[in-house]
Amino acid sequence: MTDRIVPYSRSDAVEIGAERYFTGKPCPYGHVGHRYTSNSRCVRCRAKGKLLMPTDRSIAKERGTTTYFTGQPCHAGHLSERYTRNACCVTCAIEQNRSRYAQRVEVDSGEAARLYGSGLLMREVAEILNTSTWFIGKALESKGVKPRKNGIEATRVSSRPPGHRKTEEEIAAAYQGARYEDVKFIKRLSGALSGAKQKTPRKSVD
């Protein structure tokens, strides 16, 4: 892809990996220009914001701002603001975090798949993996439900504290085309914990 080819929608930009897209519509401040794919913000608005940012790290510390902009590219060539706390390029930090996240997902996905048959509930699996999200993509595939992210056996879904048990409706809503009936098996995924208290049947009211 060349610099002249700019997608007309954010979804197209995400699909082809473009950093910007152009809708032809003005932003809330009247700018008709490119928008960032990462956050849909106007590029011209961002450029004006950089002009108002501190250009020196010491000044940024005095003002208490989290970033500053020197106007000079980093060692990787990114013309981006830098974090005040460590002078690191913001774009570099984002790329490194994405790389670490992808590696963590790959490792955690395999571990989650191994724990599925260990008699643990999804909440306990999340606690063992020390994550606030649950992996259910592999289980959904086994029931013929296609995960939202293709090619990933176990997919992260939403982000709630491990102590919060997701309802079947919440899980279904996280997947495109998933029905309520398709995810009812989640409660039976690994069975109840050994020694768990059995629910007493409700007494019928005459």
- Residue 177 gets the label, from left (phi > 0), alpha (psi -120 to 50) or beta, of left
Query: For the segment 138-172, what is each residue's pLDDT rounded down to a tens digit?
Result: 444 444 444 444 333 333 443 444 444 555 555 44
Supply the pLDDT for residue 162: 43
Q: How far apart are the first and last CA of the chain?
A: 72
What φ, ψ does residue 20 adopt, rounded to 5°?
Answer: -135, 165
* pTM over cut 0.85: no
Segments of the chain scoring below 50 in pLDDT: 1-3, 132-164, 171-172, 174-206
* Dihedral sign computed on CA atoms, order 126, 127, 131, 133: positive
User: Would you state the pLDDT for residue 156?
Assistant: 40
Are the C-beta atoms of residues 34 and 26 closer than 8 Å to each other? no
Residue with tokens 């048990």, as numbered in its chain = 165
Three-class SS of residue 11? helix
> How confident is the model over 8-19, as pLDDT tens digits?
888 888 888 888
Q: What pLDDT is stored for residue 103 in this prediction?
A: 60
Contact 87, 74 (CB under 8 A): no
- pLDDT on residue 88: 92
| Residues in Cβ contact with 169 at an 8 Å cutoff, skipping those fewer than 6 apart | 180
